[in-house]
Amino acid sequence: MSAASNGFSQGIVTFRQMKDVVAYKEDLHVWVYYDQTDDLLRYEAYIIDYDDDGNPSTLAFVVDDGILPWDCALGDYLTKMRLRSKGARQSLWAIPRHTKAALSSAEYNLYLQLSEEEKSRLHRLFASEEVRLKAKYRSAWQKRLRALGYDVIASAY
């Protein structure tokens, strides 16, 4: 609570808005993905929002995004298995539109080139990279969340 003056020397009591709580472990997610168009490993850290019943609903906002180096485990795997695209496309005309026809072509959709075992391996690598990034940037991302007015806790459980 804080007291303020209204110009007539009368104190007005106002309540400070309650901060939203973010559980770092459960509410902050990191999406790691391979951008075949630009031949880059990218990530986005984001906060999810909840509906009135307390169920996860939608994206609240992106906290950070960036590009990963190729010398990580995920990059090594994609390079070793020769799953990388031929390099960034320099012209917008060389980039196919994301239509059903383009996405059903193995040339433009990495997943169509993989066996179920390879897909599982790739998903594990993406997941381990997400965990690594969450640990690496924990301090910086928590500071950003606090600057945005969130009360950041380690976990809700």
Q: What is the pLDDT of residues 67-84, one digit of tens each?
A: 999 999 999 999 998 888
What is the model's pLDDT at position 11? 60
Residue 36 has pLDDT above 90, yes or no: no
E strands, the chain, in order: 2-5, 11-14, 21-23, 28-35, 40-50, 56-68, 151-153
What is the model's pLDDT at position 92? 52
Encoded tokens for 6: 């209204």
This model's pTM is above 0.85? no
36-40, 77-81, 142-146: segment of lowest average pLDDT: 36-40
